[in-house]
Structure 1
């Protein structure tokens, strides 16, 4: 596909883009605001005589992953200004909560020259750091025209994404070739990028998400909370089902009903993947007739509570700290799985469905180290959970293996900063 065709099609589809924002606004009113930023109009301004580095982190997951990198950039380059763009209100909120006024922030403009040019003219970034798989043809092309150095950091490319990109090979190949640097997570990612483009400047640095730090006080807080949830002085066995997608809640609830017949004191923490599905999942729980409370309403977990609905943003690490076993969603449907790193960092025994293509490298490591068990249906999910909670030492040992894999993979942050140093030093 030629870029002109892509751009023309994007202009035609622009009304649908804003219609989608309105649809999302039905679940999160923040989508109704700051549309001017999405059109490239900036309300904030860069600081005069201070070089600016631009980092793009699309949503909550990428913002979380970028935190160690952003903090190190702030510390190691005190004379630069950092602009962070996101595309979602949840990513924006998390960024401002974590870093506040230490960085500039606005939404990423849509990938049209009419929107990107005024954005670039206003901010005048010296370099752009894109996270994971954010390949926007017009954005990258205009940065190249203006001499703005571009790096794709923590880059990953699933087999499915590679196949989709190959359908539009000329456009994506040109965009990848225009990048100044690609820092891939794994060798498999590098090979997939090379199938699209024979770009030479690809280094393997590991996965930045392994370098996230869990707050030291979290363990003590979670222990106290779990004591409060105890029944007859015994801590309740707890399963967290995180990042669940449409259709998976029914499977999880079917499994949990079976679990309750054997372990009636068990607690389920259910965390849907997307904010706009919170009300839908709440309705599913109401239909199930299983007693539940909502985290967003700050309702207390009593001895009669069977499910805690995690309908909040930015609390997933906290909720993981309250569990013994984690089932990671997006895996019992054909989605490709979700992030396995956060529960690994908290030494949880891990369960997942078979669809893991988005995280193939880390899932293979976890499976090979007997830290992750793959389940295919409600029956297997129930049986595996009951097996784990029956023997606390076995459950803890499996969780320790997950943590060992997590720790073994740390170090990407230093590797990425070392590779970025020449690029940043040459432009500031």
Structure 2
């Protein structure tokens, strides 16, 4: 068994080295041209995260989130976790630079934040040796073979929190089942978002007794009060960009180019009927402003840019929010919400946030990554699928023109969200059992 483990590790390290060498030109291009991927290389390549002596009797958890969205999920989980286990030490890793910056902003004053190591055996072992965690928690799904196998070898339990498997991810894992099944078999617990994902985890190799449906942490993370601090701050920003408190606002959030094109076209067609209608675009990737600007220029339009607040302002009814971490606040200002990532091939984005505010919500037809949420909202008549620009225009016009129906749809959406809260408490209960476990045998009965 030990020989097999050594051969597996050797082969995996070789594969990752080849991939890294092939990708070096691309990494160098991003490094030079965009200033990205410049930080954390000692942590990524060698696992040289800050080391600290572990107090006798203390418990430590390594929490991993890929990027900004998963970091926000951890924020919800961490708050609930510390309420019940205030003395636990937390170490938080992220993969992307935007995720790292957000994690530092949220947790850096109290918890250690570092870049997630590449899946080289020496890097993984260094991280585990330096922080000595009692539990590894992966947000949604981030499985790397060396990470999972080494954790199992060292008897470090691995829990997937808010576990989600889209149809595409499930299909891809099945395609390489001979390679991925051993990883799924070694997961100690999966706290799945819904029954669909839970069944997919089992199909991929997880022990059915280790997979539990806890619900979606995103329902616990969201704000329902439009007078919250973030929305109030966004309201002040909106005024500075010429958006009055009584103006009506269409917000297109987490957008790709296909969504932006549909939103701009719909807004143009509605301007004559609704003269006070403003358009706020919050792209999924803020560094895409040039692409959005080009789209607008072709139509003879200009937009204000959130990142230039205080320095540049033009006379425009369009605002592009090209900064990270503000979308949840801006949703609270919307009269109508169009959730992006749904007109192209992205597979949708989080539609729970605008629904929680009681806003009429719509999204395009491609929402496979959020199918359970979409099915629930549609079943409650709390959202609308728009197939194209024409349907989007019609939905916005109806939402603005029929206040009674808009309020009714928004109320149904809020009720749907309230019914699905509680995932954080259920997840923390599972983690708590692992923290109380004394031995490997105990782990088998921790849930």
- TM-score, normalised by the number of residues in structure 1: 0.92
Q: Which residue of 2 aligns with 1:73?
A: 81
Seen in structure 2, the aligned counterparts of structure 1 residues 44 and 4 have a Cα distance that, compared at 3 Å, is closer
Q: Which residue of 2 aligns with 1:206?
A: 215
Tell me which of 193, 197, 214 is aligned to 1:185: 193
Tell me which of 400, 406, 409 is aligned to 2:411: 400
Task: Answer whether contact 1:24 1:276 (CA < 8 A) is retained.
Answer: no
Structure 2 counterparts to residues 123-162 of structure 1, below 5 A:
123-162=131-170
Q: Which residue of 2 aligns with 1:14?
A: 20
Task: Answer whether contact 1:292 1:307 (CA < 8 A) is retained.
Answer: yes
Seen in structure 2, the aligned counterparts of structure 1 residues 3 and 34 have a Cα distance that, compared at 3 Å, is closer
Q: Which residue of 2 aligns with 1:356?
A: 367
Tell me which of 28, 38, 43 is aligned to 1:37: 43
CA distance in 2, matches of 1:72, 1:47: 26
Q: Which residue of 2 aligns with 1:365?
A: 376
CA distance in 2, matches of 1:299, 1:19: 38
Tell me which of 384, 390, 402 is aligned to 1:391: 402
Q: Which residue of 2 aligns with 1:103?
A: 111
Q: Which residue of 2 aligns with 1:217?
A: 229
Question: Structure 2: which 5+ residue stretches go unaligned?
Answer: 1-7, 440-447
How many residues end up aligned between the 2 structures? 426
CA distance in 1, matches of 2:40, 2:222: 32
Question: Structure 1: which 5+ residue stretches go unaligned?
Answer: none
* Superposition deviation, residue 19 in structure 1: 4.2
Seen in structure 2, the aligned counterparts of structure 1 residues 286 and 382 have a Cα distance that, compared at 3 Å, is same
Structure 2 counterparts to residues 194-343 of structure 1, below 5 A:
194-197=202-205, 199-200=207-208, 201-214=210-223, 216-218=228-230, 220-221=232-233, 235-298=246-309, 304-343=315-354
Q: Secondary structure at the match of 1:157?
A: coil
Task: Answer whether contact 2:304 2:314 (CA < 8 A) is retained.
Answer: no
CA distances 1:205-249 after superposition (whole Å, capped 9, x unpaired):
000111114373345555666677788x87121111111124332
CA distance in 2, matches of 1:225, 1:121: 46
Q: Which residue of 2 aligns with 1:409?
A: 420
Q: Secondary structure at the match of 1:32?
A: coil
Q: Which residue of 1 aligns with 2:443?
A: none
Seen in structure 2, the aligned counterparts of structure 1 residues 142 and 381 have a Cα distance that, compared at 3 Å, is same
CA distance in 2, matches of 1:300, 1:380: 37
Seen in structure 2, the aligned counterparts of structure 1 residues 314 and 186 have a Cα distance that, compared at 3 Å, is same
Of 64-73 and 244-253, the range deviating more from structure 2: 244-253
CA distance in 2, matches of 1:383, 1:24: 41
Q: Secondary structure at the match of 1:288?
A: coil
Tell me which of 64, 67, 82 is aligned to 1:59: 67
* Superposition deviation, residue 396 in structure 1: 2.2
Task: Answer whether contact 1:230 1:236 (CA < 8 A) is retained.
Answer: no
Q: Secondary structure at the match of 1:262?
A: coil
CA distance in 2, matches of 1:23, 1:207: 38
* Superposition deviation, residue 323 in structure 1: 1.1
Task: Answer whether contact 1:82 1:103 (CA < 8 A) is retained.
Answer: yes
Task: Answer whether contact 1:140 1:150 (CA < 8 A) is retained.
Answer: yes
CA distance in 2, matches of 1:5, 1:170: 15
